[in-house]
Amino acid sequence: MDVLSARQNRVCPCQSRVRKAEQKKLSKEWRKFCKHSRKLLCKRKDKLKEEEKEQLRIILGLSARLEISYDLKQDFLEFMHSPNSETARERLSLWLFHAENSHIPEFDACIKALHNWSEYILNSYYNKFGQESRTASPAFFPSCA
């Protein structure tokens, strides 16, 4: 697993739990469609092909909670790719605000972990010499599952 996948896996399980909960509310055909589209929901938005973007639009149109969880995941990835600690601090703060106000219980453990570890996560943007590194170290990200 590469570094980006390791980082994304912190929020993707929360999104998967939302997807599974929302799938149960759908008809058999739509449940099957969503289940087979799981990879689209975990894939980065900027890596989607045009056909995949259309499929994703259909899936996200089925549930507001699913759409919000997808947006939270995308925003989390933006935070992860912050160019410096200042930007990371702003993006993490904004992400936590949006996640808390989404009122999606599947994200509660992740929110709590990020609150508890935010100081250490943001410190991971610095290398051992006190200089800013380009991205945070994945070792400093607690699992939110």
> What does the pLDDT look like over 8-19, one tens digit per residue?
455 778 888 898
Cα–Cα–Cα angle for 118, 123, 127, rounded to 5 degrees = 155
Reported pTM: 0.79
> What does the pLDDT look like over 82-115, one tens digit per residue?
888 889 999 999 999 999 999 999 999 999 999 9
CA distance from start to end of the chain: 17
| pLDDT, position 75 | 94
Q: Contact, 56 vs 19, CB < 8 A?
A: no
- Please give the average per-residue pLDDT across 22-44, as a whole number: 84
Report residue 142 as tokens.
Answer: 């607690």
Q: From CA 71, how far away is CA 112, in angstroms rounded?
A: 19
